[in-house]
Amino acid sequence: MNNKYILKNTTDLANPLLGTKIIRCTDEFFAPAKRILNPSPPIFKENVFDNHGKWMDGWETRRRRSKGNDYLLIKLGKPGKIKLTEVDTSFFNGNQPEYAQIEGCFSENNNLKHIKWIKITKKIKIKPNHKNILKSKSSKTFNFIRLNIFPDGGVARLRLFGSIDLSLQKISNKNIIDLASVINGSQVVACSDEHFGNANNILLPGKSKNMGNGWETRRRRGLGYDWVLLKLGLSGYLTSFEINTHYFKGNFPNCFSIQAIDHKKNISINSIITNSKKWKTIIAKTKLKPDSSFKIKMLKKFYKKYNYIKLNIYPDGGISRFRVYGKIK
């Protein structure tokens, strides 16, 4: 399984919108540790200095003059299994760590005093101004992560790509839930384009903060339309949908439609995309409005179990959130 596939078909468990937060670090003299979890790409501010030195968009420790190494401790908002990690040192050049390693543990009572830490990745050499990929060596579930940097330095962003462990969640099969939510294990597995915004954003909990927190495609200059394909974490019987275009005013889609399919066997994503005859259109092409929330119920004749959803937007544009409501039973 290549890195690009993992990055596309996993969830960033370090995203603070999932409840992930920094709970401890050895030092944050030059730049606060909380910046490392920012879901937005790091930026560089030319000639900007504060009381501690050059302003950097990330976590940066002072120069270590003693033995040991710096680290920060993260509590995941949702426990999960990690497949790939990314230690991004964008704009840290000459002040990046020499090495990095990621460890994890699982604690039900949040007591880490005598916990055994498991090495998730190897200790690897870190490149400056680079997205350093560290593959996971463990298939265990973690709810605490420790990023070790050797001996000191700065990291712009930390991404923890994996999947939420649904076995730890108590989900009733009687209640209507958002089956498309990343919290319930859903993931974007393919899309036509995401030039201006990551398609995975539409599955995040809560309202978007701005256009950058949604999914937006480039301007289409030819025939066709854009689309995004979701694999539901939990197969379910669908009841209604909500499409949110908040902050998208002059760039919202004109219309949308929704298709669904239920694949009981493992099948490649390419096969699902190209096998259009099996897709069932459960919501016909419908007009959208700018900067608003649109809700629509599904007709009873389409009431059955589905595990893949395809949202089509015509001809292009951006949406901030997509909700798929239903029951699992």
User: In the chain, what percentage of residues exceed pLDDT 90?
Assistant: 79
- pTM for this prediction: 0.88
pLDDT for 252 = 97
Q: Do both 289 and 321 map to the same domain?
A: yes
Q: Do both 153 and 197 map to the same domain?
A: no
Question: Using 50, 70 and 90 to split pLDDT, how confident is the model at 303?
Answer: confident
Report the CATH number that the domain containing residue 220 is assigned in CATH. 2.60.120.260
* pLDDT 10s digits, 99-125: 999 999 999 888 888 899 999 999 999
Positive or negative torsion for Cα 172, 176, 178, 179 = positive
Q: Do both 252 and 304 map to the same domain?
A: yes
**Is the pLDDT at 311 greater than 90, yes or no?**
yes
* pLDDT 10s digits, 190-209: 999 999 999 999 999 999 98
Q: Which of 114, 131, 166 is the last residue of a domain?
A: 166
Q: Do both 190 and 304 map to the same domain?
A: yes
**Under 8 Å CB-to-CB from 249, ≥6 apart: which residues?**
290, 291
Question: Using 50, 70 and 90 to split pLDDT, how confident is the model at 313?
Answer: very high
Q: Do both 207 and 321 map to the same domain?
A: yes
Q: Which two tokens stand for residue 203?
A: 């599955």
Question: Using 50, 70 and 90 to split pLDDT, how confident is the model at 10?
Answer: confident
Which residue(s) pair with 142 in the sheet? 80
**Is the pLDDT at 136 greater than 90, yes or no?**
yes
Short-list 48, 132, 58, 134, CA closest to 92: 58
Q: Do both 259 and 298 map to the same domain?
A: yes
Task: Print burial letters for 308-322: b (CB count within 10 Å at least 16), e (below 16).
Answer: bbbbbbbbbbbbbbb
**Is the pLDDT at 272 greater than 90, yes or no?**
no
Q: What is the mean pLDDT of the chain?
A: 92
* pLDDT 10s digits, 229-243: 999 999 999 999 999
Short-list 209, 188, 242, 228, CA closest to 317: 228
pLDDT for 2 = 62
pLDDT for 312 = 97
- In the chain, the number of structural domains is 2
Q: Do both 68 and 162 map to the same domain?
A: yes
Q: Do both 263 and 314 map to the same domain?
A: yes
- For residue 329, give Cα distances in angstroms to 170, 177, 297, 301, 303: 14, 12, 19, 18, 12
Across the range 18-33, mean pLDDT stands at 96
**Is the pLDDT at 304 greater than 90, yes or no?**
no
Q: Do both 94 and 77 map to the same domain?
A: yes
Reduce the DSSP state of residue 125 to 3 states and report it.
Answer: strand
Across the range 36-44, mean pLDDT stands at 94
Across the range 171-191, mean pLDDT stands at 90
Q: Do both 161 and 306 map to the same domain?
A: no
Q: Which of 112, 142, 166 is the last residue of a domain?
A: 166
Q: Which of 166, 198, 232 is the last residue of a domain?
A: 166
Q: Do both 177 and 146 map to the same domain?
A: no
Domain of residue 323 covers: 171-327
Q: Do both 181 and 151 map to the same domain?
A: no
